[in-house]
Amino acid sequence: MSSRTYYDPLHQSITLNSSIPEEKMVMELIDSSPFQRLRRIKQLGPAYLTFHGAESSRFTHSLGVFHLARRAINHLLSIDSGLKEHKFIIYGAALLHDLGHGPLSHTSEEIFKIKHEYWTAKLINSCKEITTILNKYGKGNAKAISDLIQSGKAEKKSIISLISSQLDCDRLDYLMRDSYTTGARYGQLDIDRIISAMTISPDGDLAIHPKGLMAVEHYLVIRNLMYRSVYNHRLNEVCNWLLEQIIKTARKIGPQSLWADKSMSEWLWNHEKMSLESFLSNDDTVTGYHIHKWQDCSSNNLSNLCKRFIHRNLLKALNISSFTLETRLESLAKARKLSEKYYLEPDISCGLREQVVKSYHPYKHGLRLWDGDKLQALERVSPLVDRLIQPNQSSWLIYPKEIEIELKIEIENLKMKHN
């Protein structure tokens, strides 16, 4: 018998025991090359340029998600003992749910136009190292786990909700972890109360006992605050926009005129037919190296964008969320015109970053309260949760600092014109 312990800043000791088959499987998966790659992918993408402590990896987060899933399933076994035979699926899905993330995590989905759920499922089904481990512990495990992650399919509804819902183990870990690493103080979840309040409703799905109502309300408020203060922070939006322009510009230049290694060439110009080898060969280190090298390329636009990102010479951003769409577009046009006046290329110095976030979706794995007698939708019981259904829209006008004074005057004129 052997065991190992990972010391986690949030969950303290995460111990695995090889005498327990499902934990032995987890140990083997952790040691695999595709999972070790997650050490080289930042959890929060370029947010480290805004929050200097945001250096944690998808590896660390994935261990945390597994740990919470194990805690949750062990609690739920007292309610539904039949969950025990699904531990391999639950543990595998919780640990591997982010296996298909590209460089800089969610940022790569925007800039490279990939979906991490698709690549996660593809790696689980097609990467021999991963598939062999999973199926060694149960025929069909790999397919069952990929179906759960990509399509939300499983034999029990509660399993689906633990892996993908509005109170899944992924969200519970990343809210706490991202709050911790960024220095925000919002993510202090009452995780013990939330897990102890998890129960199984009559239809077999996950539900919350009323004793956990306030802890869940707190969790949903925290999610709202984290989006507003961290995920959609103005400088984070600027960094993501810069990266998007870097990749877009590199793609336009083409493989004949721009240096890129074999794997990056596939990511840039053949991502729809990319091989598993090329996918796994790219991470934050490789992408960062290319951005560093492109500072010296012959394209002034690409060179300037890369220099801005590498040296953190960031563009400015103005919150215009309260403007109508017409006024937002007029604002962008004003910024572009002023940039040209200062001989700045508007395509790489002006843009709009728009996001719409709902803190709670009542019809997308909506949460329910179950006290053993009555089953109720969470938003029907909680006025606070009902208010969180309203979407939050953020719209940032990105522009160079050289035009800031004149732009703000133009923006004020636009506001007066439309009022």
Tens-digit pLDDT profile for residues 150-193: 999 999 999 999 999 999 999 999 999 999 999 998 878 999 99
Domain range summary for the chain, segments of one domain joined by +:
3-231, 234-356+394-418
Q: State the pLDDT at residue 1.
A: 63
Q: What Å distances lie between residue 49 and 42, 177, 198, 228, CA to CA?
A: 12, 17, 37, 17
**Domain 3-231 grouped into CATH 3.40.50.720:** no
The model carries a pTM of 0.95
Q: State the pLDDT at residue 272.
A: 87
Q: State the pLDDT at residue 359.
A: 84
Residues of the chain where predicted confidence (pLDDT) is lower than 70 = 1
Residue 121 and residue 126: Cα distance in Å, rounded?
8
Q: State the pLDDT at residue 187.
A: 73
CATH architecture of the domain with range 234-356+394-418: Up-down Bundle (1.20)
Please give the structure tokens belonging to residue 238: 């600027």
Q: State the pLDDT at residue 364.
A: 74
Contacts of 68 (CB under 8 A, 6+ apart): 11, 94, 169, 172, 173, 191, 195
State the residue for tokens 């500072």: 295
Q: State the pLDDT at residue 253.
A: 97
Q: State the pLDDT at residue 418.
A: 75
Q: State the pLDDT at residue 66.
A: 98
What percent of the chain is helix, strand and coil (3-state, nearest 5)? 60, 10, 30
Element (H, E) at 284: helix 284-293
Q: State the pLDDT at residue 161.
A: 95
Q: For residue range 219-245, what is the model confidence (pLDDT) as tens digits?
A: 999 999 999 999 999 999 999 999 999
Element (H, E) at 384: helix 383-387
Q: State the pLDDT at residue 365.
A: 78
Cβ neighbours, 10 Å, residue 185: 10
Specify whether the CB–CB gap between 229 and 186 falls below 8 A: yes
Please give the structure tokens belonging to residue 275: 């091989």
- Burial of residue 229 (number of CB atoms within 10 Å: 0-12, 13-18, 19+): middle
Please give the structure tokens belonging to residue 300: 């002034």
Please give the structure tokens belonging to residue 184: 């925000």
Specify whether the CB–CB gap between 270 and 263 falls below 8 A: no
Cβ neighbours, 10 Å, residue 415: 14
- Burial of residue 300 (number of CB atoms within 10 Å: 0-12, 13-18, 19+): exposed
Contacts of 64 (CB under 8 A, 6+ apart): 8, 10, 11, 14, 173, 176, 177
Q: State the pLDDT at residue 214.
A: 97
